Structure 1
């Protein structure tokens, strides 16, 4: 690991002179500064956050506020986190990950300590109790997700309402007349998490627009819960021919459960999902889906945040459009059985 003493020796100056060049505490000649900067580049030296913050009055750190709560699918959540980290590195910023469900207290603690220059906020609820504080902090913030009232905030997200509508529109165009939404973990709805509520709203609106019979079923994210729900749907809704799944951990278990009950996919029942392509594409039967572009959302959040740090105006809400990819799990519904002849 390259140290400040290595840079000093390479540049032919004292370690204190390198420190002054990094911190800006004392003036040094332009020639000496350029020599130090060249040594830093050649040696690959990275000053620690404290030195960088002294030089720029900033920590060059973004805080990613990601409370890990019941009903969150960790692999997809970490895709968002990875995209934020990757985008931040492109701006030469590090990321401080905050995972405790401490609400305003954690924001105040980090804001007051100057550990981070700005916040990326995830798991946004419609009436999120963190919002009033975010509107008053000195540090800017960007929300991945958007609340009921985004006034005074900066939000970026997939259009989840449109995603659900696209799935229902696709099933309706194929001729399905009864559809069901297999939704997120019940706790997600209790918290009024924005994306889950918007999926439910879009699903119901599209079903009503097409005159379809519809129902919504929150589901615990376990294979056992998926199997139990599949059995209940087959028993209680024998005319169900189309399912939309917005619950990543049970997409495959639900398909397995329906198949085990003797239903052929897509000949007897069609399945569409709102999920990352990494779940839909590699399945034994590739799944019709609306993709969740985690990399694009995370990168856009960081772009907006860096623009705010530079004093630029940014849009209040950035909603990414949806795209449905038809695959092998959706098809026209089976023809109704002919009426018995008398």
Structure 2
């Protein structure tokens, strides 16, 4: 195993100079820094993590709290987590994975132990119990999601309110006046999970502004629950001509159920989904959708964390960073069918 002293001899500098190059604690001339970095690369030197942490008071670890819930669509969460891990490595950091079920306990453990230099929290609720601990602590943190009170916090997320509005505008422009929302599982709304609540707010506000009738029904996502939810929607609102789906697990069962009932998409009923592009493109028919930019959210969260850990405090000011939604029109949405008057 290559030692720091061997790197120093190879580069023709002192061991302290190599240490300063690694830590960045002192200014080193460009030529010397390049020589040391060349020796590090040529010899394959890797600083000892424990020694580096003692020397710099940094662990070079980011704690990521990921929700592992049965009522959440795990592939999207994992895509965000993978983006966090790969981007962190580009910055020379590793990721410590924590499960969302630990809640405030995990935040306390990370803060008290110094396990990580910073935290990234997912599955953010409007009144999240973890947030007071973040505000009281000294660990930099970034939220993937928006709580109700964002003062002093740094957040990144898709603009879900604008997402809901975009779905209504697309369907209203096609002449639809009765829209139903097939939502997430009931537990997601009971927890007041931010993304679901904000999408619903955007849908309702824009529907009212456009003179569109809108109903929302939670759905567990199984075949039975999806079939029951859609049946109830058409029983309650026989004139429904469009469905907005924010539940990736329900998409397949919903399209299958519509086929079984003889309702053609989009001739009889249009379907717009909030889901990853991969899900939209693999459906039959291909779905008009607003994409979930999971990779971008994970990457931006790490970039914001690294800014907070940097040397310029002014560059790390709190704030909300929203990603503008993008609706892609595919095969599942079309003009509202003509409603024949009752005889």
Alpha-carbon displacement from aligned partner over 1:215-260 (angstroms, at most 9, x marks no partner) = 0001112222112212222333221101000011111221111111
Aligned partner of 2:118 in structure 1 is: 118
Question: Is it true that 1:337 corresponds to 2:335 in the alignment?
Answer: no
Question: Is it true that 1:198 corresponds to 2:189 in the alignment?
Answer: no
Question: Is it true that 1:318 corresponds to 2:321 in the alignment?
Answer: yes
CA contact (8 A) 1:64 1:121 kept: yes
Whole-angstrom distance in 1 between the partners of 2:114 and 2:46:
20
Aligned partner of 1:219 in structure 2 is: 219
**Further displaced range: 35-44 or 300-309:** 35-44
Q: How does 1:25-44 map to 2 (within 5 A)?
A: 37-44=37-44
Whole-angstrom distance in 1 between the partners of 2:340 and 2:148:
46
Return closer, same or farther for 1:255/1:45 CA change in 2, 3 Å cut-off.
farther
Whole-angstrom distance in 1 between the partners of 2:51 and 2:17:
10
Give 1:69 deviation, angstroms: 2.6
Question: Is it true that 1:328 corresponds to 2:331 in the alignment?
Answer: yes
Give 1:113 deviation, angstroms: 1.5
CA contact (8 A) 2:8 2:18 kept: no
Give 1:314 deviation, angstroms: 3.0
Whole-angstrom distance in 2 between the partners of 1:123 and 1:265:
32
Whole-angstrom distance in 2 between the partners of 1:89 and 1:249:
31
Aligned partner of 1:143 in structure 2 is: 143
SS where residue 63 of structure 1 aligns? strand
Whole-angstrom distance in 2 between the partners of 1:315 and 1:134:
13
Q: How does 1:125-274 map to 2 (within 5 A)?
A: 125-274=125-274
CA contact (8 A) 1:189 1:197 kept: yes
Give 1:49 deviation, angstroms: 2.5
- TM superposition score normalised by structure 2: 0.88
Give 1:304 deviation, angstroms: 1.0
CA contact (8 A) 2:169 2:206 kept: yes
Whole-angstrom distance in 2 between the partners of 1:132 and 1:236:
42
Whole-angstrom distance in 1 between the partners of 2:340 and 2:211:
22
Aligned partner of 1:305 in structure 2 is: 305
SS where residue 268 of structure 1 aligns? coil
**Further displaced range: 117-126 or 281-290:** 281-290
Whole-angstrom distance in 2 between the partners of 1:57 and 1:33:
22
Alpha-carbon displacement from aligned partner over 1:118-162 (angstroms, at most 9, x marks no partner) = 000111110111111101211100000011000111111111011
Whole-angstrom distance in 1 between the partners of 2:33 and 2:164:
57
Aligned partner of 1:92 in structure 2 is: 92
Whole-angstrom distance in 1 between the partners of 2:339 and 2:33:
81
Aligned partner of 2:78 in structure 1 is: 78
Whole-angstrom distance in 1 between the partners of 2:288 and 2:98:
34
Aligned partner of 2:46 in structure 1 is: 46
Question: Which runs of 5 or more residues in structure 2 are unaligned?
Answer: 24-28
CA contact (8 A) 1:231 1:261 kept: no
Whole-angstrom distance in 2 between the partners of 1:284 and 1:36:
57
**Further displaced range: 91-100 or 41-50:** 41-50
- TM superposition score normalised by structure 1: 0.89
Return closer, same or farther for 1:44/1:282 CA change in 2, 3 Å cut-off.
farther
Give 1:100 deviation, angstroms: 4.8
**Further displaced range: 251-260 or 171-180:** 251-260
Give 1:47 deviation, angstroms: 2.9
Whole-angstrom distance in 2 between the partners of 1:34 and 1:320:
38
Whole-angstrom distance in 2 between the partners of 1:18 and 1:257:
70
CA contact (8 A) 1:22 1:51 kept: no
Matched pairs, number? 332
